[in-house]
A and B are shown apart, each in its own frame.
Chain A
Amino acid sequence: AQSVAQPEDQVNVAEGNPLTVKCTYSVSGNPYLFWYVQYPNRGLQFLLKYITGDNLVKGSYGFEAEFNKSQTSFHLKKPSALVSDSALYFCAVRGQNYGQNFVFGPGTRLSVLP
């Protein structure tokens, strides 16, 4: 069965400091991996995805994520956090086998302190 873990409910970081939001996954076969961000009372916005190729993926708003197959991880990173990055972040996985649906992690709330 597919699963996603985001071990931190909350991440606090000072503005200007680097941020990391952690994600590990379990899936049969090769994964498609995604990061989404959600602002209050809004739908989820796509940030970036890993399908194949380079393990370092760059996405919207200066975010990037690194796919690590041996550790089954896909951590989200940003070199310099902004107060406006404060939001709820979701990691998701989908197996590349036909019929497998998206599975989301429980979410990590990021607070960037001025």
Chain B
Amino acid sequence: SQTIHQWPATLVQPVGSPLSLECTVEGTSNPNLYWYRQAAGRGLQLLFYSVGIGQISSEVPQNLSASRPQDRQFILSSKKLLLSDSGFYLCAWTPGPSTLHFGNGTRLTVT
């Protein structure tokens, strides 16, 4: 069966420090991969999505970037974190147009 792993679960980082969040999917190939951010426990904001290795689409221009170095690996990065980057980051995958499956999320606090 397919599973999605996302880590770390929580992260506290100072302003100006770099960021790397990792997400991997097991049990499938060529998934569509997504990074969402959720602020204040409410709505989801799509940050990036990828339909294949090296193919990244950005939905919202900001301080973050994403990369997909391998088929089932999706990384969210920042060179210098801002206070406004705090939030709950969710990785998700789908094999196609149907159900989106989410990881357990990373709670990022920028201090």
Contacts and interface: CB of A to CB of B under 8 A. Distances in A.
B61 interface: no
Interface stretch (A13-21, A62-70, A89-97): A89-97
B97 A96 contact: yes
B105 A51 contact: no
A34 interface: yes
B11 to A, nearest CB: 13
Contact of B105 (A43, A105, A107): A43
Contacts of A40: 41
A32 B98 CA distance: 7
Given A42-B105, A43-B104, A106 B43 contact: yes
B44 interface: yes
Contacts of A32: 97-98
Interface of B: 6, 34, 41-44, 46, 49, 59, 88, 90, 92, 94, 97-105, 107
22 contacts: A32-B97, A32-B98, A34-B99, A34-B100, A40-B41, A41-B88, A41-B105, A43-B103, A44-B90, A44-B92, A44-B102, A46-B101, A49-B99, A90-B44, A94-B97, A96-B97, A98-B97, A102-B94, A102-B100, A104-B44, A106-B42, A107-B43
